[in-house]
Amino acid sequence: MTGSANLPADLPVLPDDAPHLLVVDDDSRIRGLIRRYLADNGYRVTVAEDSAEARRKIESLSFDALVVDVMMPGESGLSLTAALKARLDVPVLMLTARADPSHRIEGLETGADDYLTKPFEPRELLLRLANLLRRRRSAAPMTSGTVAFGPFQFDLDRQELSRDGAPVRLTDRERWLLKTFAEKPGETVARHLLAGRDEALSERTVDVQINRLRRKIEIDPANPVHLQTVRGIGYRLMAT
């Protein structure tokens, strides 16, 4: 992030319903810059200098999203994110000074929702956070109703798929996969989560099952529109 470190001490007064963010970074300058910029753009911001302080604040406050640095003294941002994602439904944007793809994938595998490489433009941070919060609102898990994609409708109550009102036959496994995607339309579901608790079910087997499901819901299964691949991570269902 670029800009001067000479920041005014006061922050704008924001309404209680403004999105509340937690910024976790051991660099006080970065924390200050991010806090100032986000507050100026309508976010309530709480900061923490390490994972331990972040954990304490999460226990007493509610946050709409977290911005977490990867490399910090003590517990890393990767470890913190993995632990939080196991028990909280909150979007996490990770910050890192490393740009190699393997490091980015490692962060996403912990459950991070997005990744931003330092140095970054403040406007990009703002846009990515806005996208995370918008996706969280639109991709909230559904327990009932109908999810539509193209000419298809999946009834979550009955767990039945139809095309223009005509039933489409599904195997038990295809029904479970489609239900998993339909509960969070637009949200990426990792391969290892799709394998579930069946230790004998490899991620490669999941890919095969996805291809079979695509043959029932895609005009061109080789170029899917509804059930899309998120490279290196998993799949997502694009609802309409």
* pLDDT of res. 199: 45
Q: Evaluate whether residue 122 is within a structural domain.
A: yes
Residues 26 and 131 in one domain: yes
Peptide bond into 12 cis (omega under 30): no
* pLDDT of res. 9: 53
Asked if residues 46 and 2 have their Cβ atoms less than 8 Å apart, the reply is no
Residues 131 and 40 in one domain: yes
Q: Measured in Å, how far apart are the chain's first and last C-alpha atoms?
A: 36
Residues 124 and 152 in one domain: no
* pLDDT of res. 5: 37
Residues 24 and 129 in one domain: yes
Asked if residues 114 and 132 have their Cβ atoms less than 8 Å apart, the reply is yes
Residues 111 and 67 in one domain: yes
What distance in Å separates the CA atoms of residue 63 and residue 147, rounded to the nearest whole number? 28
Residues 151 and 115 in one domain: no
How far from 128 is each of 95, 109, 166, 199, CA to CA, in Å?
12, 18, 40, 35
* pLDDT of res. 4: 37
Query: pTM (2 decimals)?
Result: 0.56
Q: Evaluate whether residue 12 is within a structural domain.
A: no
Q: Evaluate whether residue 224 is within a structural domain.
A: yes
Residues 121 and 151 in one domain: no
Domain's final residue, options 138, 168, 189: 138
Q: Evaluate whether residue 209 is within a structural domain.
A: yes
Domain's final residue, options 106, 138, 170: 138
Residues 192 and 223 in one domain: yes
- Residue 85 belongs to a domain with what CATH number? 3.40.50.2300
* pLDDT of res. 34: 94
* pLDDT of res. 140: 55
* pLDDT of res. 230: 84
- Residue 210 belongs to a domain with what CATH number? 1.10.10.10
**Rg of the chain in Å (alpha carbons):** 20
Residues 177 and 108 in one domain: no
In the block, residue with structure tokens 């195997």: 171
Residues 66 and 24 in one domain: yes
The tens-digit pLDDT sequence of the chain (240 residues) is 644 333 445 677 777 778 899 999 999 999 999 999 999 999 999 999 999 999 999 988 889 999 999 999 999 999 999 888 888 888 999 998 876 676 677 777 778 888 898 888 989 999 999 888 887 765 555 556 899 999 999 999 889 999 988 999 999 889 999 999 998 888 888 887 787 645 445 677 888 999 999 999 999 999 999 999 988 788 889 987
In the block, residue with structure tokens 């029904």: 175
Q: Evaluate whether residue 65 is within a structural domain.
A: yes
Structure tokens at 98: 């490393």
* pLDDT of res. 105: 77
Residues 129 and 200 in one domain: no
The number of folded domains in the chain is 2
Domain carrying residue 192: 146-237
